[in-house]
Chain A
């Protein structure tokens, strides 16, 4: 039994590590395509060996440890950033199960009954790596980057948590396997499109991706929290960011886009990971697209957006979902169920109207 766990955990880490390497290539090629460039295409056919070349370069780079850093924490911070991004994937189901040598092998490391809470707790732990990297560098820019990122991650964690709650209400369970199985008839993105959107925006902020990549705003903070890191230690931060991207796309696919479900997945369970992979690829392209086309948002607007738009909207969404499910169950009338997406979309438009009004007012005179 425990051998199976170790092997599965090992394979999962391996998937995430190779995924990270090839995601960098995918991102660079896609960015280049959007910006009418070619991108890295020299190492191997279509640049397929580029990640390996990058890894070799980073390993052989000189690693500097500045003189006045807090050494233990400085060494620990990259590790603390990578570990959560690896272990968070343990509860995500990649598929159902298949037979191998006469025994049933499930395609997830663990199906714990508080799976969603596990995701939340690991996500909340993930702040430490960045904050400590900023502090231990003993550098004002790095420190500001660390503080910014912690403020940003705390602010957007609330909206993130509430969009988890929405999925829990729809799936009537905290286990991710149950949530996926609940989507056999209908993906939750159809019922609650706004919840999925909030989840996506909040996770962009959680992993510090553009347009919320404040902690590493080059023109203000040089490189933010990882300004003092070099060589493999820098590579670990890089790795954590891309693994987090993969993992949150997996979570979003699991919670709202039916996870590993797809045609014929009941007959051929090994198709499950393939469907999940395809969904993740599409979602990742969305993130890269946003990075290529949107400018960085200003810091005060980032905070205002998180607290004044995202949080109330997420609260409204959770309330609408809970009420809709309750009314549909009580009166056994599917009309109430379909009021969930309608009311959610209305509240989304109200939120957009508020943003629009606020931006218009601000562009006239006062700040």
Chain B
């Protein structure tokens, strides 16, 4: 058993445990914290695969920026422990059904591919150098410039929408 495999097994246990912790903890702040741990674990998976750039980006963007905003909102609203309001009774069975379908599908694909030698293998080290990062950036800003710009405009519109929706109209404040 190589040391990578041991690290991988431990990390996957941590990842699953934190994901479950996020789902089942009663307090929203604890859920958010479990999610942060989960993101950090995923970042270490990327490091294991030899992709330091994506690992650091994962920590900066998800654990560092997005989850801080989540926590910020949870604390600002004081929504740490909302009463369990079961407003949608059909939601739970549907969620269970869908997740079973997803799990079966994933398992099927995994075992199906494993036989044919198309199983998930770590890319060789040459893919993950800074040189390939340069290649990726060049492709992103030349070949895929239009999708990139469209995505950024989409994000901008979402941001502006949030501002417009929360703005108090003049005279209507009272």
Instruction: List the interface of chain A (C-beta within 8 A of B).
Output: 70, 73, 112-114, 117-118, 120-121, 123-125, 127-128, 131-132, 134-135, 143, 146-147, 150-151, 153-154, 157, 174
Contacts and interface: CB of A to CB of B under 8 A. Distances in A.
Nearest to A119: B56
B136 interface: no
Given A113-B130, A128-B36, A146-B75, A121 B60 contact: yes
A121 B76 contact: no
Contact of A112 (B52, B59, B76): B52
A225 to B, nearest CB: 12
A30 to B, nearest CB: 33
B68 A150 contact: yes
Given A121-B56, A127-B68, A132-B33, 4 more contacts: A117-B52, A120-B56, A150-B68, A157-B65
Interface residues of B, number: 21
Contact of B60 (A113, A120, A154, A174): A120
Nearest to A124: B64
Interface string B51-78: 0110011011001110011011001100
Interface of B: 27, 29, 33, 36, 52-53, 56-57, 59-60, 63-65, 68-69, 71-72, 75-76, 129-130
A128 B75 CA distance: 13
Contacts of A157: 65
A131 B64 contact: no
Given A118-B56, A131-B68, A147-B72, A124 B130 contact: no
The 3 closest A-B pairs by CB, nearest first: A124-B64, A117-B56, A121-B59
Nearest to B74: A135
Contacts of A113: 52, 129-130
A121 B64 contact: yes
A150 B71 contact: yes
A326 to B, nearest CB: 13
Contacts of B56: 114, 117-118, 120-121
B60 A124 contact: yes
Contact of A147 (B63, B75, B129): B75
Contacts of B65: 124, 154, 157
Contacts of B33: 73, 132
23 contacts: A73-B33, A112-B52, A113-B129, A114-B52, A114-B56, A117-B52, A117-B56, A117-B60, A120-B56, A121-B57, A121-B59, A121-B64, A124-B60, A124-B68, A125-B63, A127-B68, A128-B68, A132-B33, A135-B71, A147-B72, A147-B75, A150-B72, A154-B69
